[in-house]
Homo-oligomer: A and B are copies of this chain.
């Protein structure tokens, strides 16, 4: 795991099962953090570690609605509604040597669900176990005659703050407050910007994925317990309408809604505004530039809201100003 400038205070936190949070909003903070602090956090997998072999099936092993446990929430000192919470992901490290994926009845993208309801019976349940090979950086899966070694590409499915308007949302939900966006773009080296809705922001994270395809087709990734090293910062400037991500190479907005085109529209409109602000272009010129440069990988098409990432490659817009006063670069410089 990458390390940090020794001047940075690092706070470690591993929740007990009783401390797991199941919602955004509605949970008491587990700790207070000062902007500028780093957190080294352990999070359980989305199944609470209950799927350990292919004979552990979701219907019997899981205890709904207690899935997707969050580590947190953390109260950020000084955070007020409207501010920008900044979370820079220094690194992710699998916290177990195995991950699990599963088919859950009437859940996922290529089955009918409680909303996309049909009269067909559900697909069968099935559980898959992946074995981590840290040296080769792979997760291995045995499927009879076929063995797969897939690159380890750790990410978090879920990071978010308490919602506005007094709402409390399940940790399965992605929306304007972040949450279960399930985007592979949330990898190490990424800075997340979230609008603060309540005093203290109350952010939490979880749902580690050792890897995930874009769309998370079957509804579950290679779910695994994760250690996350995250730098926390706070800007007293207006937070974004939708979660924004920044890496060394891209500015990204993640829209979440149904139908899928609305997730895309919401993220795109925010990206046009961001791009206009960074370049001084008017809205229509920014729309034109976005039309020719954006990379748009699907995040998930399986959650309560679907999520789509709109990515703008920085190299294609060299004249742009640094975003959010260059905070991404400043935080990145603290990483060794």
Q: Is the CB of A110 within 8 A of B117?
A: yes
Determine the chain B residues whose CB is within 8 A of the CB of A258 once the complex forms. 257-259, 261-262
Determine the chain B residues whose CB is within 8 A of the CB of A151 once the complex forms. 316
Determine the chain B residues whose CB is within 8 A of the CB of A144 once the complex forms. 281, 285
Say which residue of B103, B168, B220, B222 sits within 8 Å of A26 (CB atoms): B168
Interface centre among A146, A219, A279 (most CB of B within 10 A): A146
A290 to B65, CA, bound (A): 26
Determine the chain B residues whose CB is within 8 A of the CB of A23 once the complex forms. 165-167
Determine the chain B residues whose CB is within 8 A of the CB of A260 once the complex forms. 259-261, 264
Chain B residue nearest in CB terms to A116: B262
The answer to whether the Cβ of A179 comes within 8 Å of any Cβ in the partner chain is: no
A215 to B311, CA, bound (A): 11
- Residues of A222-268 at the interface with B, using a CB-CB cut-off of 8 Å, are 222, 241, 255, 257-262, 264-266, 268
A147 to B319, CA, bound (A): 8
A196 to B25, CA, bound (A): 22
Determine the chain B residues whose CB is within 8 A of the CB of A57 once the complex forms. none
Determine the chain B residues whose CB is within 8 A of the CB of A11 once the complex forms. none
A149 to B162, CA, bound (A): 41
How many whole Å from A283's CB to the nearest CB in chain B? 6
The answer to whether the Cβ of A143 comes within 8 Å of any Cβ in the partner chain is: yes
- Residues of A275-296 at the interface with B, using a CB-CB cut-off of 8 Å, are 279-281, 283-285, 287-296
A110 to B317, CA, bound (A): 21
A206 to B100, CA, bound (A): 45
Q: Is the CB of A150 within 8 A of B266?
A: no
Q: Is the CB of A284 within 8 A of B126?
A: yes
Q: Is the CB of A109 within 8 A of B222?
A: no
Determine the chain B residues whose CB is within 8 A of the CB of A148 once the complex forms. 289, 316-317
Determine the chain B residues whose CB is within 8 A of the CB of A7 once the complex forms. none
How many whole Å from A277's CB to the nearest CB in chain B? 13
Interface centre among A26, A117, A294, A316 (most CB of B within 10 A): A117
The answer to whether the Cβ of A177 comes within 8 Å of any Cβ in the partner chain is: no
The answer to whether the Cβ of A118 comes within 8 Å of any Cβ in the partner chain is: yes
Q: Is the CB of A293 within 8 A of B150?
A: yes
A296 to B214, CA, bound (A): 5
26 chain-A/chain-B pairs, Cβ below 8 angstroms: A101-B288, A101-B291, A103-B284, A103-B287, A109-B261, A110-B118, A110-B268, A111-B119, A116-B262, A117-B255, A117-B269, A118-B120, A118-B123, A118-B269, A119-B269, A126-B288, A128-B288, A143-B281, A148-B316, A165-B170, A213-B291, A214-B296, A216-B291, A217-B294, A218-B287, A218-B291
Top 9 closest pairs, chain A to chain B, by CB: A259-B259, A260-B260, A168-B168, A214-B296, A296-B298, A258-B258, A65-B165, A117-B269, A213-B294
Given contact pairs A101-B291, A103-B287, A213-B295, enumerate 11 new A-B contacts (beta carbons under 8 Å): A65-B166, A101-B292, A110-B272, A116-B262, A117-B269, A119-B283, A124-B284, A144-B281, A145-B280, A150-B292, A214-B294
